[in-house]
Structures are given as structure tokens and as C-alpha cells.
Amino acid sequence: MRTTGVGPTLADVRLAADRITGLVDRTPVLALDSRVLVKAEHRQRGGSFKIRGAANAMLARYADEVVAGSSGNHGIAVAMLGAALGIRVTIVMAAGASDGKARTIRALGASVVQVTGGVVERDRRAADIAAATGAVFVPSSDDELVVAGAGTVGLEVLEQVPGVTTIFVPTGGGGLLAGVCLAASALSQRVRVVGVEPMSARRYAVSVAQGAPIELPPSMTIADGLRGQRPGAVPWPIIRHRVDDLIGVTDEAITHALGVLRRAGVSAEPSGAVALAGALRRGSAGRAVVIVSGGNGTAGSSTKKTEEPPAELLPASTGESACSSLRCLDGAEESRSRRIAADAIRGAAL
Ligand SMILES: Cc1ncc(COP(=O)(O)O)c(C=O)c1O
């Protein structure tokens, strides 16, 4: 966990948006029906929203070597960026993590270390490797830069869907939910932010109910990106103070949501269908956006873009280069080599 003690703010999310422009896609918003819209992060580079936080952290911190704990998607994002930036990458994965995602990470040139325990053991091992090797630890969600990067999904939703009333957010470690909570404060009118957790991994709902972070036993929900066992120190205070609701959904409900998305031409992975499962369970008045956060299958993962989507409500922006706006969080000049490398990955088909 990396924290300044103050926590990221809306300003950090805006800074992240500048820093990662050109490295990530501004994904489209798709109309699932007249009321429910999909923020299509399954079409993001690397197949999930995770590249936003990873890029923000890896561009802001100089590193020759990076280590991360991941269920797969964060690892894919870090490995892609590492390959493009010439950074050695080690990804630690928990027992039961997707073999397909592990293969993708290795194919991108990163090392994979598998541990026998759950997410808590995984993250402990990643931190140990960082301490022993001097590698920079890039957490999958419990990190100010990662939360700020994830929050750029929320900023885009607010821009793309004027009048949005509710945003449903899949919740694992809480980085995406915390980032969307920060982004939501950019609007003067109230936007409801609803976190959706697998029923067997309701760490935020349980912790909010008890008023303190609670660690749960490992979960084997089919939503493999949402098996985190406890709230992260960085996301926790943000979520606790801002989130409007936290919903639990069963694996059956997630499977049903996957089918709804598939029939609409949206190829989500189970974690990516969780927000829709929540929206279907809770319903919502007005315009709801569900974040389809990833599309890398739990087996035989792929980083390819999926099939043609349903009619796009708004097309993806062309994403003009923001090379000149690449800045370090502390305001220091981005190093020349880092800037050149960033330019290189902008041109590469990530
Ligand atoms: C597809 C997908 N959605 C959602 C999440 C949860 O994100 P967070 O840990 O920021 O809550 C993950 C985490 O790996 C993921 O892979």
C-alpha cells in the first residue's frame, strides 16, 4: 500500500487522466436498453480497466523492476506496460487464479509466482519480493496512484452520459469503486455510486456495517477479479464516506448477467458482469451506467478486442496525444527516456 496519509482526491484523478491519455482508450458507452448503459472497459487495452491505474502508477514512479499481486487483469496490464517500457515485471498470483491469465502474463514476458494461499498471502508475498529485490510494488488497487487512475473511468462516464443518475461498480479490492467515488464529486448534482460485490466476498459491505475494515476468508467466486479479502487502506476511507449502496450478488446472478451481456454482443468475463448483476437485482430510476470492467475469460484469457458491440451511444474519442501533459504526481518533469517510452507504447497495439 502506498499512501501519503491524505489520500487521493478528484484533482489526482484529473491528473491521472492527463498522464495516461494516449496510453489507454476512452472506451465507448453502449446502450444495453433504453435505461441501462454499459461503460465498455472490456474493450480497453489489455482487456480491462486495470491498465488505467497501472499506467498512472508506472509512469509516475521510476522503476527498472516492478512487482504486483494480481488475479490476472492487473498483471496483464502491468506486464504489457513493462514490455513496452523495458521494465522487468514479476506478478504474484493466488491459488485458483486463472491459468489462462497467467499464460497471457508470461507471454508478455513477465515472471509469474504462484502462492498456495488467497489474496492476502499473495499480496504479502509480492511485498516481500519487492522488499528483497528493490522492485517497485504496484498494488492492484490499494495505492493512491492506482485509485486515481481507475477513477478516470468515472470521469469519462460523467462526460459521456450527461444526466447519469446511478453508476454500478464491480468491487474487489475497491480501487475502481474508490476512484469512481472521487470522480463523482466532479458533478454538482448527486450521482449515486453503488458498489457490487460477490455474495461470498462482501468485504466492503461487512466492513461498512461494522464501521471498521474486516478481513474475510478466501472466496472462490467465479468473479475471479473480486476475491480480495479485505478493504484496502487507500480505498476504504473514500468508499466508507461516499458510497451510496453496496449490493451482494450470487454466482448464479453473475452467470445470468453474463448471458444478458452475451446476447447483447458484449463479451464480458464474470467480474465484468458483476455490476450488471447488481443493477438487475436492485433496479434504478433514471439513467444507470454499469461498468463492464473486463473481458478476459477466466480460462484461455485473451487480450484481444471482442466482437462488434451493440449500437454505440457515443463513439470512443480519438484520444489526441497528451504527451506534453505527461507529468509526475509531484510536479517533477517526466524523464526524457520515460517520455520516449510512453510515446512508443502509444504507437504500439497494446
Ligand atoms: C475485470 C475486473 N473487474 C473488477 C475488478 C475489481 O477491481 P478493484 O480491485 O479495483 O475493486 C477486477 C480486479 O482485478 C477485475 O479484474
Q: In this structure, are 84 and 162 located in the same domain?
A: no
User: 26 in a domain, yes or no?
Assistant: yes
Q: In this structure, are 217 and 279 located in the same domain?
A: yes
Q: Per-residue pLDDT for the chain (350 aa), expressed as one digit of tens each? A: 555 567 899 999 999 999 999 899 999 999 998 889 999 999 999 999 999 999 999 999 978 999 999 999 999 999 999 999 999 999 999 999 999 999 999 999 999 999 999 888 999 999 999 999 999 999 999 999 999 999 999 999 999 999 999 999 999 999 999 999 999 998 878 899 999 999 999 999 999 999 999 999 989 999 999 998 999 999 999 999 999 999 999 999 999 999 999 999 999 999 999 999 999 999 888 899 999 999 998 433 333 333 333 333 333 332 222 212 212 112 223 333 334 334 434 444 33
Which of the listed residues 141, 166, 182 is the one where a domain comes to its end? 141
Burial (CB count <10 Å: 0-12, 13-18, 19+), residue 281: middle
DSSP 48-102: BTHHHHHHHHHHHS--SEEEEE-SSHHHHHHHHHHHHHT-EEEEEE-TT--HHHH
Give the domain CATH number at 115.
3.40.50.1100
User: 161 in a domain, yes or no?
Assistant: yes
Query: Which residue among 51, 73, 93, 181 is best mutated to probe the pocket of ligand 1, counting the most ligand atoms within 8 A of its Cβ?
Result: 73
Q: In this structure, are 34 and 70 located in the same domain?
A: no
141 lines ligand 1 (CB under 6 A): yes
Phi-psi region of 319 (alpha: psi -120 to 50; beta: other; left: phi over 0): left
Q: In this structure, are 258 and 286 located in the same domain?
A: yes
User: 346 in a domain, yes or no?
Assistant: no
Nearest atom in ligand 1 to 295's CA: 1
Q: In this structure, are 261 and 227 located in the same domain?
A: yes
176 lines ligand 1 (CB under 6 A): yes
Residue 297 is predicted with a pLDDT of: 83
Q: In this structure, are 262 and 194 located in the same domain?
A: yes
- Number of domains the chain contains: 2
Q: In this structure, are 44 and 82 located in the same domain?
A: no
Which of the listed residues 76, 109, 141 is the one where a domain comes to its end? 141
Residue 35 is predicted with a pLDDT of: 86
Residue 327 is predicted with a pLDDT of: 21
Residue 33 is predicted with a pLDDT of: 86
**Domain region containing 18:** 10-48+143-313
Nearest atom in ligand 1 to 179's CA: 10
User: 218 in a domain, yes or no?
Assistant: yes
Neighbouring C-alpha atoms within 13 Å toward the C-beta of 83: 18
229 lines ligand 1 (CB under 6 A): no
Burial (CB count <10 Å: 0-12, 13-18, 19+), residue 190: exposed
202 φ/ψ angles, rounded to the nearest 5 degrees: -90, 50
Residue 319 is predicted with a pLDDT of: 26
Q: In this structure, are 93 and 213 located in the same domain?
A: no
Q: In this structure, are 84 and 209 located in the same domain?
A: no
| CA-proximal residue: ligand 1, atom 6 (nearest) | 172
Q: Which residues contact 310 (CB under 8 A, 6 or more apart)?
A: 30, 31, 32, 264, 265, 266
Q: In this structure, are 278 and 155 located in the same domain?
A: yes
**How much distance in Å is there from the Cα of 140 to the middle of ligand 1?**
8
Amino acid at 318: T
User: 321 in a domain, yes or no?
Assistant: no
User: 120 in a domain, yes or no?
Assistant: yes
Which of the listed residues 141, 161, 185 is the one where a domain comes to its end? 141
Q: In this structure, are 84 and 213 located in the same domain?
A: no
User: 320 in a domain, yes or no?
Assistant: no
Phi-psi region of 244 (alpha: psi -120 to 50; beta: other; left: phi over 0): alpha
| pTM over 0.75, yes/no | yes
Q: In this structure, are 80 and 127 located in the same domain?
A: yes
User: 322 in a domain, yes or no?
Assistant: no
Nearest to 42 by CA among 217, 290, 320: 290
